[in-house]
């Protein structure tokens, strides 16, 4: 798969602090169907610095992810139905079958390169601002 392109070319998620300050923006590939969510970022060898994958579910629920066949260390941001970040898994270990998640019900999970959250000061309580698309699960 090709590297993800910049926000100017498609869907984008900004992470915004409670005071309204933009912490970071990433171009996203949207995984809004079951087959897309099942594969996720598996088998990829590279993810651009300002890129990620947004998993969109039909409803908010407790979500666990694993890193099976995923070679890139990832930060995972779990957000509720309002787009508020409820938890972060930092630097998930490549190829691990250990399930990781956040407390609470998430409707969205944003995967970005490991270390992204620390580098940009992203914390629970921040929120997602979607642009260039409407984040609704197709299935």
The pLDDT tens digits of the residues spanning 3-22 come to 344 566 689 999 999 999 99
- What is the average pLDDT across 46-62? 96
Query: What pLDDT is stored for residue 9 in this prediction?
Result: 67
Q: How many CA atoms lie within 13 A of 70 on its CB side?
A: 27
**Backbone φ and ψ of 13, nearest 5°:** -120, 125
What value does the mean pLDDT take over residues 47-70?
Answer: 96
Average pLDDT, the chain: 93
Which pTM value belongs to this model?
0.92
């Amino acid at each position: 798969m090709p590297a993800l392109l910049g926000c100017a070319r498609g869907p984008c998620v900004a992470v915004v602090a409670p005071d309204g300050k933009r912490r970071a923006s990433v171009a996203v590939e949207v995984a809004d169907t079951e087959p897309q969510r099942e594969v996720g970022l598996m088998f990829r060898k590279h993810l651009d610095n300002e890129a990620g994958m947004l998993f969109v579910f039909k409803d908010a629920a407790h979500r666990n992810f694993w890193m099976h066949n995923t070679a890139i260390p990832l930060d995972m941001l779990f957000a509720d139905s309002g787009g508020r970040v409820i938890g972060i898994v930092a630097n998930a270990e490549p190829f691990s079958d250990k399930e990781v998640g956040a407390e609470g019900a998430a409707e969205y999970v944003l995967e970005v390169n490991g270390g992204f959250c620390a580098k940009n000061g992203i914390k629970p309580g921040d929120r997602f601002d979607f642009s260039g698309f409407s984040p609704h699960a197709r299935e």
